[in-house]
Structure 1
């Protein structure tokens, strides 16, 4: 059986690994390096460059060089090059194709299968897009696993004693925090949180903008629209960021960066770590909430953590490490190589799938991952009814019975949602489908079983079945969901921001459904058993029902005043008490 390689498809750099003689080995690329820049370029003569060769010519060919494509995976973004539009999947596939060829040259055999890692906070569309990129590159993607989980797998093989760890993964374009428990041959993800639009690129941009502003201040030259100059400044900013992780100051030198009325501009400026920290303070602050969310969801205090593992090149930034210590009280460990450990974990998972774990002895562990966001369906009143909560272990399946909202309804639309808000309109719709030919019946009678299945890759399938007729429809959520980085980033943040407002609105919509159901139940009970009631009792119930219908007829439950809402609550209770006798008679007959 051919080797199954593990691939860390990174925003800035990518890396490969596999299991060899029971040990994880990093696969070098054709240039002999252990990591490959995730950069693609198209030259004027039609040649395609990938990796280091593409990165080297970026300054002279900025318009046809593409970097950080991972940030737009799963969206409808396209890049037009030489009269052709390229999708993120196609561009990512070019990187994967180079990695595949380099791996084949190193291993001396054909590589057909791979395990690819993604940020823990990648949504369904982004995961599917990553699988599609692999398929375009000629790879069968056997498993998609979360990057922090892969890092924990690499760490756990050498540290299998019982412990709880935080994996802090700050890469080139994304940020994830996972709380993971290791012990008894099991690596279990307890919770995950993150920000799909925070990474080293943002730190580079902060410094690059400062350099641009200084050039404008000192020389009265605006280079913000000079693509070649901007590319040189971006590279200088990244280099300075890296150097400031080990030095307290560095010099940015950009000879002939531009020309002014006085002649060529040769920029040379000193950037201190203190200045860098000040420029990037807001970015560092953005790491706090995901850490707190992950701990809260895992129901752990920082003191209960045994270790914090750093993953991703940007986790080397000293002020980031200081913020971790400030939030948790723990000095983060540097025991893993942050550039290689994710690929190593993917390689281990590939070894497990290929059967190479027989050579790994006690390294054979069970990996339990989770979904990052709650999955729901839309129900009456625009409510998002959860079926699978975020941080549920996968693979998983869950079914729930729903019913119709109108008499003799013959079809229902299933709107599949992802997010933490209680109302459907505030979450991301992953897809919709219709269940038709429902057996005709009164409202509330049909039983429609909705089932969510999530595989080990975090890919979602949803089915709906009318239990009376046996008719069933299903959907596998495909790439069309296009949930943007900003959408998923906002999902948790907005849920916390608007928690109290959402709770009140959901309460009112649920109450509205209860009001409508009560009116129908009382009307049905009177029609069925009214003759058995004393005239005075029947008349009292009808009067109360009439008053209640009049009171609620034109009420907007979402916007009515608290006083009006409370009056309806009291009236509802009064109708329930008055009509209790006839409602009980109907229930007994059922």
Structure 2
């Protein structure tokens, strides 16, 4: 059974298969292996995909491009975005482009790729491996899988794009053991990953990136600069903006080979024919801010992977994605990683080829290679006090499972809300909620009810949460769908940097919260203990406890985490003798009861 490999890209897409033991990409009727990720819907209901759709844009038709940027997004996150077609809100709060969901638009692209494969292979194709950016979250991965299913494909594996690129590179380039960085700057997304390859096992050591950064942003930056020279402060309508961006894209591509290019748009407006000379030097200054945004991700991923000297510890830095053709991008990569970038891979085909290889492995057409991906952000739940309790840390190898037992924080409560969180901050409110579910259980004294929570991430990076009542053994499974993540994808890369920026404040608040919870539990217990055995204690011990109590109550009025933590520890220490007396009395009471029986 064939398993095709598909690179569903923001700008371009490709499909391939392992045939006679060799991974190959398949060409469409026009002889092209790379197809524009474009869809046009005619007034008569006719759908055009790829190059045919782009030709319709030239005739003034509405054409949906770069839809990948809206996979798994909610309308509230993107409302007001400048886009090639009008955006609307779906009934479930999702995004509509030209009246269709991103999954429906993507399904048209996938359906076309499926037809290309079936035409070339002359047989029916039902299964596929599809690639996604490493930084795609759970909602975006699920949306990609749904698009595949709408196209009539069984998606047997979702593979991260850098992993696919490293797989394509590693087959014939490296020995038994190597470590590489994959810098993937495509049309709409950016990923940087460090992968280690050892005896056929590919393990992602760390990954970082931005799902809202790519060649589209470079095109837009250049287009807006050109309009600053010509527009005299006037506003662009959506059609004019798109024409300018399309022209800027052509100039960008030309400047990767030439030192100078001319952006020409005749009859742009009545009486306006744009003709702007753009040198490579000017272009690099205009887009420096966009390209420069990748540097922080590169340095962070090196730190996360434990790479202190990239020049010595990395065997290669592989460039993937059409935007890596830009000389300024290559210069940045070589400066950050302190070594020449490897440009041996076809930047537009490497990811697709990796998907094909993985499809071949799964179908048995190629020798076994193990892929070990990682989860890009930590996953956990909210615990009492509003804290983030991490169950699966960032950069954990997947597939994986992790669980923990939780108890009721309040006596006689009958249910517990499990809030699933994703992020790197210490407090629950600063992370993203993936979903929540109320789990019922039998009422019990404080700390007596037991609820097991297990997170399971499959090989596609899709999360399933299971909550189990340990008394009734009733399971509650939380389904996280594409409408569950109410966050802007452009904030994904900010999460890690904010966790660093606010690390001191976050940890201080966490320490204070934990100490406060401990204090609020300890103070009533001390009062109850003194009521029982206060008369049996020495005056000196009582005074020590009383003084420690005052310190805790005073610290609770302030906001110094270390002061409160220290005060709680002193009270805990001061009550050790009281605790011992309580234990002795309890044992005596139990013994007397036994004797009386």
Query: RMSD of the alignment, in Å?
Result: 2.4
Correspondence for 2:286: 279
Correspondence for 1:182: 197
Of residues 353, 357, 362, the one that matches 1:348 is 357
Correspondence for 1:21: 20
Correspondence for 1:104: 118
Q: Is the 8 A contact 1:58 1:231 kept in 2?
A: no
Measured after TM superposition, the shift of residue 533 of structure 1 is 3.0
3-state DSSP class of the match of 1:100? helix
Measured after TM superposition, the shift of residue 587 of structure 1 is 6.6
Q: Is the 8 A contact 2:426 2:506 kept in 1?
A: yes
Measured after TM superposition, the shift of residue 18 of structure 1 is 0.9
From the superposition, tell whether residues 570 and 245 of structure 1 become closer, same or farther in structure 2 (CA, over 3 Å). Answer: closer
The question of 1:252 aligning with 2:292 is answered no
Measured after TM superposition, the shift of residue 197 of structure 1 is 1.0
User: Structure 2 CA distance, aligned partners of 1:546 and 1:496?
Assistant: 35
Correspondence for 1:66: 64
Q: In structure 2, list runs of 5 or more residues that go unmatched.
A: 76-85, 90-95, 588-597
Measured after TM superposition, the shift of residue 401 of structure 1 is 1.8
Measured after TM superposition, the shift of residue 462 of structure 1 is 1.0
Correspondence for 1:403: 407
User: Structure 2 CA distance, aligned partners of 1:471 and 1:542?
Assistant: 44
Measured after TM superposition, the shift of residue 568 of structure 1 is 4.0
User: Structure 1 CA distance, aligned partners of 2:167 and 2:66?
Assistant: 26
> Could you report, residue by residue, the CA deviation over 1:512-564 in whole angstroms, capped at 9, with x for unpaired residues?
1121222244345456x6278337478557745864675467x3xxxx343xx
> Could you report, residue by residue, the CA deviation over 1:335-378 in whole angstroms, capped at 9, with x for unpaired residues?
11110111111111111111212xxxxx4311111111100110
Correspondence for 2:101: 87
Correspondence for 1:360: none
Measured after TM superposition, the shift of residue 478 of structure 1 is 1.5
User: Structure 2 CA distance, aligned partners of 1:188 and 1:10?
Assistant: 23
Correspondence for 1:335: 344
Q: Is the 8 A contact 2:39 2:50 kept in 1?
A: yes
> Could you report, residue by residue, the CA deviation over 1:186-210 in whole angstroms, capped at 9, with x for unpaired residues?
1111110011111000000011111
User: Structure 1 CA distance, aligned partners of 2:358 and 2:553?
Assistant: 64
User: Structure 1 CA distance, aligned partners of 2:401 and 2:517?
Assistant: 28
Correspondence for 2:83: none
Q: Is the 8 A contact 1:180 1:190 kept in 2?
A: yes
User: Structure 1 CA distance, aligned partners of 2:570 and 2:404?
Assistant: 32
3-state DSSP class of the match of 2:29? coil
Of residues 493, 497, 519, the one that matches 2:501 is 497
From the superposition, tell whether residues 571 and 216 of structure 1 become closer, same or farther in structure 2 (CA, over 3 Å). Answer: closer
3-state DSSP class of the match of 2:231? helix
From the superposition, tell whether residues 466 and 586 of structure 1 become closer, same or farther in structure 2 (CA, over 3 Å). Answer: farther
Correspondence for 2:185: 170
Matched residue count: 566
Kindly report which structure 2 residues correspond to 1:388-467, keeping only aligned pairs within 5 A, or say none. Answer: 388-437=392-441, 439-467=442-470
Correspondence for 1:152: 166
From the superposition, tell whether residues 546 and 391 of structure 1 become closer, same or farther in structure 2 (CA, over 3 Å). Answer: closer
Correspondence for 1:266: 273
User: Structure 2 CA distance, aligned partners of 1:322 and 1:73?
Assistant: 31
User: Structure 1 CA distance, aligned partners of 2:63 and 2:437?
Assistant: 40
Measured after TM superposition, the shift of residue 486 of structure 1 is 2.0
Q: In structure 1, list runs of 5 or more residues that go unmatched.
A: 358-362
User: Structure 1 CA distance, aligned partners of 2:296 and 2:97?
Assistant: 43
Measured after TM superposition, the shift of residue 119 of structure 1 is 0.2
3-state DSSP class of the match of 2:130? strand
Measured after TM superposition, the shift of residue 90 of structure 1 is 0.9
Kindly report which structure 2 residues correspond to 1:292-331, keeping only aligned pairs within 5 A, or say none. Answer: 292-301=299-308, 302-303=310-311, 304-331=313-340
Q: Is the 8 A contact 1:251 1:270 kept in 2?
A: yes
TM-score (norm. length: structure 2): 0.90
Measured after TM superposition, the shift of residue 435 of structure 1 is 1.4
Q: Is the 8 A contact 2:552 2:571 kept in 1?
A: no
Of residues 221, 232, 244, the one that matches 2:243 is 232
Correspondence for 1:47: 46
User: Structure 1 CA distance, aligned partners of 2:302 and 2:182?
Assistant: 11
The question of 1:487 aligning with 2:491 is answered yes
Measured after TM superposition, the shift of residue 275 of structure 1 is 0.6
User: Structure 2 CA distance, aligned partners of 1:435 and 1:386?
Assistant: 19
Q: Is the 8 A contact 2:169 2:345 kept in 1?
A: yes
> Could you report, residue by residue, the CA deviation over 1:279-329 in whole angstroms, capped at 9, with x for unpaired residues?
011112101111111111110121211100010000111001100111111
User: Structure 1 CA distance, aligned partners of 2:174 and 2:116?
Assistant: 32
Q: Is the 8 A contact 2:548 2:570 kept in 1?
A: no
The question of 1:142 aligning with 2:151 is answered no
TM-score (norm. length: structure 1): 0.91
Measured after TM superposition, the shift of residue 228 of structure 1 is 3.5
Q: Is the 8 A contact 1:12 1:172 kept in 2?
A: yes
Measured after TM superposition, the shift of residue 86 of structure 1 is 1.2
User: Structure 1 CA distance, aligned partners of 2:477 and 2:524?
Assistant: 32
From the superposition, tell whether residues 446 and 210 of structure 1 become closer, same or farther in structure 2 (CA, over 3 Å). Answer: same
3-state DSSP class of the match of 2:15? strand
Q: Is the 8 A contact 1:60 1:228 kept in 2?
A: no
User: Structure 2 CA distance, aligned partners of 1:404 and 1:311?
Assistant: 50
The question of 1:512 aligning with 2:516 is answered yes
3-state DSSP class of the match of 1:61? coil
Measured after TM superposition, the shift of residue 47 of structure 1 is 1.9
From the superposition, tell whether residues 353 and 585 of structure 1 become closer, same or farther in structure 2 (CA, over 3 Å). Answer: farther
Correspondence for 1:214: 229
3-state DSSP class of the match of 1:356? coil
Q: Is the 8 A contact 1:72 1:484 kept in 2?
A: no
Measured after TM superposition, the shift of residue 469 of structure 1 is 3.7
The question of 1:291 aligning with 2:298 is answered yes
